[in-house]
Amino acid sequence: MFSYFHQILCFLLHSYYCFSYKSRCCHYLKS
């Protein structure tokens, strides 16, 4: 359940920040 929520949250954050900061959130949290 947490993993599913995390994937969505990370996807939204990554999509938002990637345009300006190219965040690597998903890259190091994803396992």
The pTM (predicted TM-score) of the whole model is 0.41
Note the pLDDT tens digit of each residue in 5-21.
888 887 887 777 666 66
The angle formed by the CA atoms of residues 19, 28 and 5, to the nearest 5 degrees, is 80
CA nearest neighbour of 22 among 4, 13, 1:
13
How much is the pLDDT for 13?
78
How much is the pLDDT for 23?
52
